[in-house]
Amino acid sequence: MVEISASILNLEEDNVIKKLYDLEAAKIDYFHIDVMDGIFVKNNTVQKMKKYCEYLNNISNLPIDVHLMVTNVKEYVNEFLVFKPNIITVHLEAFSNKNELKEIIKYIKENNTRVGISIKPDTKIGEIFEILKYIHQVLIMTVEPGKGGQSLIPQTLEKVEALNEFIKKENIDIDIEVDGGINEKTAIEAKKAGANILVAGTAITRAEDYKKIVEELKKI
Ligand code: DX5
Ligand code: ZN
């Protein structure tokens, strides 16, 4: 069975506490927090995501899955560590070399938090093979990072397949999360390719009935 990480990026602010309760009651597995700095991608969601993390710390025990789409990674790692996330995912493309990336991985782990690495649609999967042994999760972007509500790019699922084959062959225990354009239809393809955690934003937040859509996505 796949797990569902609900992206709350597009959750409107009115009545948001009730919506967060409803998402938890709908049995999502994680709250996915999309942090955008206005540099790595155009949008800036820092204040909104901080506010939502504060709410979550007060009202929910579900794990927080932070996805940092930022250039100054360390600054935002520090800003979001305070919310005690279960995992922080950073983008490979934000680093100029592997040593810097390894430093951040070490830093996040020293702060008792799991680590994920994300790659954009144009980044080759082979680029992260050498760091898999240091991390807990790979987040494969199935759309260009920057906003919710886009369509999944089918070729990105070939990377999920390749990664899945590689980790099986090398006997590496790691989660494969996909992010962007996940709905009832694409979820089936993503699972078939080997993803075990699906991020879903607008498919859930735009639905009339959170319970129904989450159930549908989980049982595929
Ligand atoms: C995109 C974000 C995603 C996105 C998911 O940059 O990382 O988490 O908001 O939203 P949907 O499911 O609507 O594509
Ligand atoms: Zn995301």
Give the CA distances from residue 156 to residues 119, 168, 181, 194, in Å, rounded to whole numbers and listed in that order: 10, 19, 11, 12
Active site residue 122: no
- pLDDT tens by residue, 134-184: 999 999 999 999 999 999 999 999 999 999 999 999 999 999 999 999 999
Distance (Å, rounded) from C-alpha 197 to C-alpha 160? 12
- Tell me, in angstroms, the distance from the centre of ligand 2 to residue 151's CA: 14
Chain-centroid distance, C-alpha 18: 23
Q: What DSSP assignment string belongs to 122-143?
A: TS-GGGGGGGGGG-SEEEEESS
Domain boundaries defined on the chain: 3-218
Is the dihedral angle over the CA atoms 189, 148, 139, 86 positive or is it negative? negative
Cα of 205 vs centre of ligand 1, distance in Å, is 11
How many CB atoms neighbour CB 188 within 10 A? Answer: 12
Residue 34 annotated in active site: yes
What integer pLDDT is reported at residue 44 of this predicted model?
A: 98
Which residue among 7, 69, 202 is best mutated to probe the pocket of ligand 1, counting the most ligand atoms within 8 A of its Cβ?
A: 7
Q: Is 176 in the pocket of ligand 1 (CB under 6 A)?
A: no
CATH code reported for the domain at 3-218: 3.20.20.70
Ligand 1 pocket residue status of 91, Cβ below 6 Å: no
**Which band of pLDDT confidence, cut at 50, 70 and 90, is reported for residue 21?**
very high
CB 199 within 8 A of CB 180: yes
Q: Does the model's pTM come out above 0.85?
A: yes
Q: Which atom of ligand 1 is nearest to the CA of 9?
A: 9
Q: Where are the beta strands (DSSP E) in 16-157?
A: 30-36, 64-69, 87-91, 114-119, 137-141
Nearest ligand 1 atom to alpha carbon 67: 7
